[in-house]
Structure 1
Amino acid sequence: MSSPLTPRLALLLTLPPLLWAGNAVVGRALVGSVPPIALNAMRWWLALVLLLPLGWRVLRDTRQIASRWKHFALLGLLGVGSYNALQYLAVQTSTALNVTLIAASSPVWMLLVGLLFFGERPTPRQLLGAVLSLAGVLLVISRGSLAALREVRLVPGDLFMLLAVLLWAGYSWMLARPPAHLRGQERPAWNWAEFLFVQMLFGSAWATLAAAVEAPLTPVAIAWTPAVCAALLYVAVGPSLIAYRAWGLGVATVGPAVATFFSNLTPVFAALLSAALLGEAPRWFHAAAFALIAAGIVVSSFGVRAACRA
């Protein structure tokens, strides 16, 4: 059962969107310098090494992992292995602001995945909020020409990001609704770092496999400049360790239906960071799209508050 939203939890759930916005901006800045799938693999292996001092104890009894490998393999694929790889692919042909605005459609996919796979029926307000958020995403995809929406041609980055958001919805629900062998007395006595370490082990394996496929297809030599090294360190620490810890704790406490609306803050931070660091100033349809997305948050939050009071 979800807990009421407190100021502390609100702050906790605001941190990941800020770090993820920076991740999209950094990914955009590294286009042409680092292959996108290789960037994802290096990011997670570095994060795994940094987490090792806190999570290594989980390796003392590998039977606990082996008996749950199917669950963690899927969890690692959806979260660590896929989402960020697809985002780095997305910013190859789309802007950081565009991909984060498309990611703001997550309430739609979160509600859909919850209904289809977890039996969670959305409230009317949640549905209305999701529709408003989706309208904002369509406005971005159409580049502000609603009359031409039927003829719109998505750039590959837009499609990659839509797929990433769908997979992230599945990941979030798996965190909030774990199987029986990860609940109650059946759950291993792992702390947060050990649980995340197991996720990252499986996710890094997926990321490495994808990078091995990418290498012969897009042979790009990595330019190891100080800026590239600093960017890699940032994506390994901020959007990986800190953001995943905060998001996992927030989702487990308030539930994915509430947490997902905080992810809609990502475009706000992305717009500010893109304008400041990349010179990609927002256009009028970005502002209109954000207004629709914000309206979706407001509408849905009434239903969330009512549910928490109940």
Structure 2
Amino acid sequence: MNIGLGEAMALGSAATWAFGVILARQLGRSLPPATLNLFKNGLVLLVLAPVAWISTGGVLPALTGTQVVLALASGLMGIAVADTLYFRALNELGAGRMGVVGNLYSPLVLLMGYLFLGERLGPWQWLGFALVAGGVALVARPPKQWQTTPAHTARGVLIGLTSIALMAVSIVMLKHVLEAQPLLWITLVRLAGAVAGLVALAAWPKTRRHFRFDPKQVPWPRLLLAALCGQGLSMVLWLGGYKYAPAAVAAILNESASVFLVILGAVWLREPLGRRAVAGVALTFTGIACMLAARPI
């Protein structure tokens, strides 16, 4: 098995992201999606800024104008917009059903990696992709007791698919920048773009109502934990996976987040976990082993 730094970071990102999503679902009862997204990323930005500064000895990296624009745009698209839509879909669909929607992510990254990055997968990676996709489909397929009204489900699925598509575009456009520049600084610039976009939305009269909340209803310690672990640590690991591994490999390994999500949903939120889900978990991790058996050509 050939697991490098990028592959390890991609798997670590999947686990910490799933943990953060479970917390976000609980926080969604007291915070609207846009406010939750702003608070989480704002907290991470405050913590990450001094860490990034220390990591380079107080020396600013030599970022080009194009690299800065791409990082800011990636944050605006992939965090400010995509994450807000993701939390909205999570509130409507639930933790397990979002696993179904998330199946779109790795095929999109595979396609864009092929078209724009010239990436190719070898036989073991294609087998791993098939197994992971099949396992996620099994583990995340909602049983009858999860069903909602057709209109509710359709709206949640549409919002979720839009979110996943924006995430895929935002990471592929940043791949070459990640490879050329310090990880923490690119993460910081990307976060700055996201927070700036969210602050602008919060200040705009037409969207300000989407940020209203009651501070007394917010579990602040849980929000801090969700921000630092589920958002901050997960984001650094997620971007690190794309920096040190091919985008296609990182994307497929990121799919294991759906498995971690359903397992945590069963243990933490008491969501149903039957034999089909157990089989899906086994299939997914078999696929991950195949992905790590050899690197893409």
TM-score (norm 1): 0.75
The match for 1:229 among 220, 224, 231 is 220
The match for 2:186 among 184, 192, 195 is 195
Aligned to 1:19: 16
Q: Unaligned stretches of 5+ in structure 1? A: 146-150
Aligned to 2:199: 208
Q: How many angstroms apart in 2 are the aligned matches of 1:306 and 1:201? A: 34
Offset at 1:22? 1.4
Alpha-carbon distance change, 254 to 101 in structure 1, aligned in 2, over 3 angstroms: same
SS in structure 2 of the partner of residue 92 of structure 1: helix
Aligned to 2:81: 82
Offset at 1:253? 1.4
Alpha-carbon distance change, 68 to 300 in structure 1, aligned in 2, over 3 angstroms: closer
Offset at 1:92? 1.3
Q: How many angstroms apart in 2 are the aligned matches of 1:12 and 1:137? A: 20
Percent of matched pairs sharing the same residue: 23
Matched, 1:40 2:32: no
Offset at 1:49? 1.1
Q: Unaligned stretches of 5+ in structure 2? A: 145-149
The number of residues matched between the two structures is: 287
The match for 1:267 among 250, 253, 258 is 258
Alpha-carbon distance change, 300 to 56 in structure 1, aligned in 2, over 3 angstroms: closer
Offset at 1:288? 5.4
Aligned to 1:148: none
Q: How many angstroms apart in 1 are the aligned matches of 2:53 and 2:292? A: 39
SS in structure 2 of the partner of residue 177 of structure 1: helix
The two structures, once aligned, show a CA RMSD in angstroms of 3.6
Q: How many angstroms apart in 1 are the aligned matches of 2:71 and 2:211? A: 31
What are the superposed Cα offsets for residues 171-206 of structure 1, whole Å, 9 maximum, x if unpaired?
Answer: 332343239xx84xxx6xxx4333322111112112
Q: How many angstroms apart in 1 are the aligned matches of 2:113 and 2:184? A: 26
Offset at 1:306? 5.4
Alpha-carbon distance change, 161 to 283 in structure 1, aligned in 2, over 3 angstroms: farther
Q: What does residue range 283-298 of structure 1 map to in structure 2 within 5 Å?
A: 283=274, 286-287=277-278, 289-290=280-281, 293-294=284-285, 296-297=287-288
Alpha-carbon distance change, 205 to 83 in structure 1, aligned in 2, over 3 angstroms: same
Q: 1:105 touches 1:134 (CA, 8 Å); kept in 2?
A: no
Q: How many angstroms apart in 2 are the aligned matches of 1:141 and 1:9? A: 26
Alpha-carbon distance change, 34 to 144 in structure 1, aligned in 2, over 3 angstroms: closer
Q: How many angstroms apart in 1 are the aligned matches of 2:264 and 2:295? A: 34
Q: How many angstroms apart in 2 are the aligned matches of 1:206 and 1:296? A: 37
Alpha-carbon distance change, 237 to 124 in structure 1, aligned in 2, over 3 angstroms: same
Q: 2:101 touches 2:157 (CA, 8 Å); kept in 1?
A: yes
Offset at 1:38? 1.2
TM-score (norm 2): 0.78
